[in-house]
Structure 1
Amino acid sequence: MTLTVRSHREAAALKDGLLLIDGRWRPAESGATWTHHHPATAEAIGEFPVAGAADVDAAVRAARRAFDEGTWPHVRAGERVRVLRAVADLLRDNADELRGLQALDNGVPLSFGGVYAGSVDVAADTFEHHAGWVDKAGGETLPPYQGGDHLAMTLREPVGVVAAVLPWNAPFLLFAQKLAPALAAGCTVVLKPSEYASFSVLRMVELLQEAGIPDGVVNVVTGPGDPTGEALITHAQVDKVSFTGSRDVGRRIVRASADTMKRVSLELGGKSPAVVFPDSDVALAGMTTMGMVTLGLSGQACVAHSRALVHRDVYDEFLGAAQMIADSVTYGDPFDASVQSSPLINARQLERVLGYISAGTDQGARLVTGGNRPDGELAAGNFVRPALFADVDNSMAIAQEEIFGPVLSVVPFSDEDEAVRLANDTEYGLGAGLYTNDARRAFRMAKRLRAGTVGINGFQVEPHLPFGGYKQSGLGREGGRSSFEAYTELKTVLLPLSDEVI
């Protein structure tokens, strides 16, 4: 029997996608389309336009007009608040439909919808949170430094036209993390979803329209990085690029931004460590860490703790708990409630992950379990069973490079200093986990780790907390006040109150 999701596509009445430019849904000027194949079955799911340079230019110019001549950047705060809260309500009201569209997009199972960071709830909460910043975009009034009778003040104003480029793995969270603060600040947006997760994003944009977003404020161009993404990040009338994805594309965006000094926010992945001490609940640490790289997204998450640094005294206990999770993960139809994890997003990523698994064994790591492809009804999909590696040296490729798949590398350590050295011995710095019941050790270690987010005995994404990385994990933060301010410019205003010369 061959696995199929075709009946779910028909039940959802999935329509082929269109571009949204200045409030009008339309095909690409060239007529070019992309056919999306489901990663679990290789079946053709639907088509959407490939926006070329002319389409992208039309979308950016629409956003430019909406910013320079439209009402959104200047509308009263209460109206922006009303719209953003309406978006949050509509997301919650349509959560079941959106989860189904995501399952048709990227194969993430419906069961993962109960995990907050992967749910529609986190998107709704993010819009609701940023609605609260709309009427708090204040500056400061400062006393004159040199004395005299004048006011010195600062104002926060929207940065302008934003190019928001989304990855495929977390469309709900990333859609909200980029659009909510941008819209709250008064910016206009050209949104490019991943070609591997467009249908759920297009539906969320329809909900934005239903909530009352004016024409031209949010525009959508679909298609791959070439030509669509390239035309967007290099467009001269884009003021800021917000991107989540690979480090190579992030570097390209930084280079492209130099020509017009675009502002950039980049989240570029990680090789995050989980550091496990003997005084922790070691079994829970093993199950949680292995779960982060296997359940739901099958390790295709930027902040997944794909390196486990485990004290030698509890090394075997950790491996046993991790193997139990690895061997129990279920795959299949993402609409089946018993399915716990997803396929890899495409055949290219499947081959990449299998290549890293081969490299791990070739370089001397011990493959405890997994790393093979399932057969039978799953053979047509991009599935690979979770790979657990022991006796890993931190210099190996599987310990240094972001694999973006269900692979956990377990490295032993002897004391805190060695754990810190190993944890920080990476080009990335997105996240880290600490497992200890010693509060002093937890804070001591958290201060020493070079990572943007450190979770102690657990890890969570929250709408009001900044999220981003050190080193090559990116630039800037998403979430909370820092995210809102990243979509603003700071202006200084001097106002004489007499005839003095400032």
Structure 2
Amino acid sequence: MSFHSGKVLVDGEIRGPLSGRTLDHVFPGNGEVVGVVARCEAADVDAAVGAARRALDGGWRDMNVRDRRRLLLDYARLVAAHNEELARLQTLDSGMPIQMSHGFLLGPEMAADFIEYYAGLVDKEIGEVLPVYPGAGFDYTLREPLGVVACITAWNAPVYLFGAKVAPALAVGNTVVVKPSEIGSAATLRLAELALEAGIPKGVINVITGLGPECGEPLVTHAGVDAVSFTGGTATGRHIQRFAADSLKRVVLELGGKSASVVFEDADIAAAGMLSAGMVAYGLSGQGCACATRALVHQSVLEEFNQTVVSTMAFMTPADPFDPATMAGPLISDRQLERVLGYVEKGRAEGATVVSGGERLGGDLAAGFYMQPTLLLTSNQTTPAREEIFGPVLCSIPFSDEEEAIRLANDTPYGLAGVINTRDLKRAHRVAARIRSGTVGINGYSIQATTPFGGIKQSGYGREGSRHAIADYSSLKNVYVDLS
């Protein structure tokens, strides 16, 4: 397993930060320091952006589509071939259980899928010929790269996010500077290194790490950066939007969520309960923006639903992330664990009932950042039901009819995802049309390379996945020819 502790990748070279400074990387499974992360500053940002610009102007932007497609396909195959290594690095980075790191949704296979999918679009994103009047003329459009794109990714799913951002950016001819979270960068560095092994020219993909004020802000505000794609918290997204405004950079924001899973009385209650419990207990332990952390449940099936959730959560007890049998991992840090526990106490003080869980796990897990999966019975007005917790806490909220369910689902500042559980097909489509979110699942939920993912309201804007993402990483040029 190639673990470049304290390194960055700039202009094809794995090296230390110019400042010589690093940050400890603490493994959340046991609280131990297992390496360091480079603490880059403005000088490293300059070097990375300069390398990306040279690669852009030195041939990547103008490379013929066949050669770019073949390079990306070779890259996708290499990523897939390193599944085991990349999965282990991702678990080391974030504490994601190894079975999820191996899995399709957030593992190397999904990153490879993104790269392969966008490789297939390299020669298919063609322009249009448009009608011209009143005189004779010929008018057509072209898709052109934006230039250098800063891709800022979150710590919770570094492999997936790398594929979702880097693949479409490269496919249309951009170069990138990737800034993964300062919490862990091992998987991201290895993915970038594999690009070099696949033959992608040096400087096309660069990786730097560091703190927001020291590295993130200089990257977003850098005059050589043409666009920013960010995944993370809503508050940070607002800062990035403000920083980018001075130079009118293109910005894509995939931010937080407080998604609702609506459970109607005719739903498969066992399946709905297991899905809701799994979204907050399995794998990332609720540390995902698309997790449906509010369960809006018809009052006639509330007790049955809650019992299913409790029994499912009991089955998903957190444990060592590197154990293949582990289904739920730790929270990312002791600070985050205390924050989530604080939300449980805040909810209790506001009248919520802790149906199960709500405590830190001790014993053999005491050194790590583990918490019991938690079910709160509450209204939609308590703090845990209003704010993004990013932990294994599900709020169970009763409703009486379809109109109230829709009102509650939309009564949130966020609008990222949602799930509708029902056997009534007409109701499913009717409610899906009225829920204000970027994506909606019916009796299930999935994300993949071929489908667009993104939010509205405080969950951001722009899309990742599908050919719709191409528009966020390219500029549309119109060309007119006078034939009169």
What is the aligned partner in structure 2 of residue 90 from structure 1?
78
Cα distance between partner residues in 2 of 1:17 and 1:94: 21
Query: Superposed, which structure 2 residues align to 1:474-485 within 5 Å?
Result: 474-485=460-471
What is the aligned partner in structure 2 of residue 30 from structure 1?
19
What is the aligned partner in structure 2 of residue 63 from structure 1?
52
1:157 matches 2:144: yes
What is the aligned partner in structure 2 of residue 380 from structure 1?
367
Question: Sequence identity, in percent?
Answer: 51
Cα distance between partner residues in 2 of 1:182 and 1:468: 16
How many Å apart are 1:29 and its aligned residue? 1.4
Among 237, 241, 248, the alignment partner of 1:250 is 237
Among 413, 416, 419, the alignment partner of 1:433 is 419
What is the aligned partner in structure 2 of residue 39 from structure 1?
28
Q: Secondary structure at the match of 1:380?
A: coil
How many Å apart are 1:188 and its aligned residue? 0.6
How many Å apart are 1:284 and its aligned residue? 1.0
| CA contact 2:6–2:22 (8 Å) conserved in 1 | no
Cα distance between partner residues in 2 of 1:237 and 1:14: 30
What is the aligned partner in structure 1 of residue 392 from structure 2?
406
Q: Secondary structure at the match of 2:149?
A: strand
Cα distance between partner residues in 1 of 2:102 and 2:5: 28
How many Å apart are 1:111 and its aligned residue? 1.6
Cα distance between partner residues in 1 of 2:400 and 2:37: 53
Cα distance between partner residues in 1 of 2:291 and 2:201: 37
CA RMSD of aligned residues (A): 1.1
TM-score, scaled relative to structure 1: 0.95
Among 171, 175, 197, the alignment partner of 1:188 is 175
Is 324-333 or 202-211 further displaced after alignment? 324-333
Cα distance between partner residues in 2 of 1:43 and 1:398: 30
Cα distance between partner residues in 2 of 1:403 and 1:481: 32
| CA contact 1:330–1:338 (8 Å) conserved in 2 | no
1:139 matches 2:127: yes
Among 452, 462, 484, the alignment partner of 1:466 is 452
Q: Secondary structure at the match of 1:442?
A: helix
Amino acid in the other structure paired with 2:75: V
What is the aligned partner in structure 1 of residue 409 from structure 2?
423
Q: Secondary structure at the match of 2:241?
A: helix
Q: Secondary structure at the match of 2:93?
A: helix
Cα distance between partner residues in 2 of 1:230 and 1:124: 30
| CA contact 1:327–1:369 (8 Å) conserved in 2 | no
Cα distance between partner residues in 2 of 1:43 and 1:114: 23
| CA contact 2:439–2:453 (8 Å) conserved in 1 | yes
1:102 matches 2:96: no
1:303 matches 2:290: yes
Among 295, 313, 337, the alignment partner of 2:300 is 313
| CA contact 2:169–2:176 (8 Å) conserved in 1 | yes
Query: Superposed, which structure 2 residues align to 1:436-451 within 5 Å?
Result: 436-451=422-437
| CA contact 1:139–1:153 (8 Å) conserved in 2 | yes
Amino acid in the other structure paired with 2:420: L
Amino acid in the other structure paired with 1:38: F
What is the aligned partner in structure 2 of residue 224 from structure 1?
211
Cα distance between partner residues in 2 of 1:330 and 1:408: 15
How many Å apart are 1:215 and its aligned residue? 1.3
How many Å apart are 1:333 and its aligned residue? 1.8
| CA contact 2:318–2:372 (8 Å) conserved in 1 | no
Amino acid in the other structure paired with 1:480: S
Query: Superposed, which structure 2 residues align to 1:266-277 within 5 Å?
Result: 266-277=253-264
Give 4+ residue runs of structure 1 displaced > 3 Å after superposition. Answer: 12-15
- Which consecutive unaligned segments of at least 5 residues does structure 2 have? none
How many Å apart are 1:35 and its aligned residue? 1.4
What is the aligned partner in structure 1 of residue 153 from structure 2?
166
Cα distance between partner residues in 2 of 1:456 and 1:48: 41
Amino acid in the other structure paired with 2:203: G
| CA contact 1:293–1:405 (8 Å) conserved in 2 | yes
Give the count of matched residue pairs. 484
How many Å apart are 1:13 and its aligned residue? 6.2
How many Å apart are 1:223 and its aligned residue? 1.5
Q: Does the C-alpha gap of structure 1 residues 487 and 13 become closer, same or farther in structure 2, counting only changes over 3 Å? A: closer
- 1:251-298 residue CA offsets vs partner (Å, 9 max, x unmatched): 001101111100000001100000001111001101111110010000
What is the aligned partner in structure 2 of residue 9 from structure 1?
none
- 1:137-183 residue CA offsets vs partner (Å, 9 max, x unmatched): 211111212232x2111111001110000101111110000000000
How many Å apart are 1:86 and its aligned residue? 1.1
| CA contact 1:327–1:370 (8 Å) conserved in 2 | no
Among 67, 70, 78, the alignment partner of 1:79 is 67
How many Å apart are 1:17 and its aligned residue? 3.6
Cα distance between partner residues in 1 of 2:236 and 2:444: 30
Q: Secondary structure at the match of 1:301?
A: coil
What is the aligned partner in structure 2 of residue 127 from structure 1?
115
Q: Secondary structure at the match of 2:59?
A: coil
